Homo-oligomer: A and B are copies of this chain.
């Protein structure tokens, strides 16, 4: 149900099509809520049924037409009600950390490779987000209140990523020494 609110949140700033939403989830909001295009299209239909979104088909030159969704007044109200309501605990679900509980001589090498892979991914995302932050949120004090919120969230993501990299380097060192001992 929260994906619906995440979608409406993304539409606060700009009206978008499902495809654009999916891409936007891969960059900005996706730091905090990942979603596949399939699920986005389904939730988009449900939100339209509830009249929280209105849609309009926009023809494009040289590209297929797209269906652009806009937040309605009642959608806006529902979103604000959700914001003012209680939050659930962040659900921690991380394969890789659970796998570390299973560390042994047979799987060290594999876990090292997986950590390195994750490190790459986090680095890439960090780079992307730092760029966004620099470009659009360079002077935090002059931002509108809403953008100050976005800035804070982005900062959370960035510092989280940086902290992961520090931990990761440490962990890789430990794992390397374990591997060398056999």
Instruction: Tell me if A31 is interfacial: C-beta within 8 Å of chain B.
Output: yes
Question: Do the beta carbons of A145 and B29 come within 8 Å of each other?
Answer: no
Q: Which of A129-182 contact B (CB under 8 A)?
A: 140, 145-146, 148-150, 152-153, 155-157, 159-160, 163-164, 166-167, 170-171, 174-175, 178
Least Cβ–Cβ distance between A17 and chain B, in angstroms: 19
Question: Do the beta carbons of A83 and B102 come within 8 Å of each other?
Answer: yes
Question: Do the beta carbons of B110 and A84 come within 8 Å of each other?
Answer: yes
Instruction: Tell me if A15 is interfacial: C-beta within 8 Å of chain B.
Output: no
| Interchain CB contact (< 8 A) of A93 among B34, B98, B101, B145 | B34
Question: Do the beta carbons of B30 and A92 come within 8 Å of each other?
Answer: yes
Identity of the chain B residue whose Cβ is nearest the Cβ of A150 in the assembled complex = B101
Question: Do the beta carbons of A93 and B90 come within 8 Å of each other?
Answer: yes
User: Which residues in B have their C-beta under 8 angstroms from that of A32?
Assistant: 92-94, 97-98
Assembled-state Cα–Cα distance A150/B100 (Å): 6
Instruction: Tell me if A87 is interfacial: C-beta within 8 Å of chain B.
Output: yes
What is the interface of chain A, defined by CB distance below 8 A to chain B?
2, 5-6, 9, 12, 29-34, 79-80, 82-84, 86-108, 110-111, 114, 118, 121, 140, 145-146, 148-150, 152-153, 155-157, 159-160, 163-164, 166-167, 170-171, 174-175, 178
| 23 A–B contacts, CB within 8 A, in A order | A5-B98, A9-B98, A9-B101, A34-B89, A34-B93, A80-B106, A80-B107, A83-B107, A84-B107, A86-B114, A87-B114, A90-B93, A90-B118, A97-B153, A97-B157, A100-B149, A100-B150, A100-B153, A101-B146, A103-B148, A152-B171, A155-B167, A156-B171
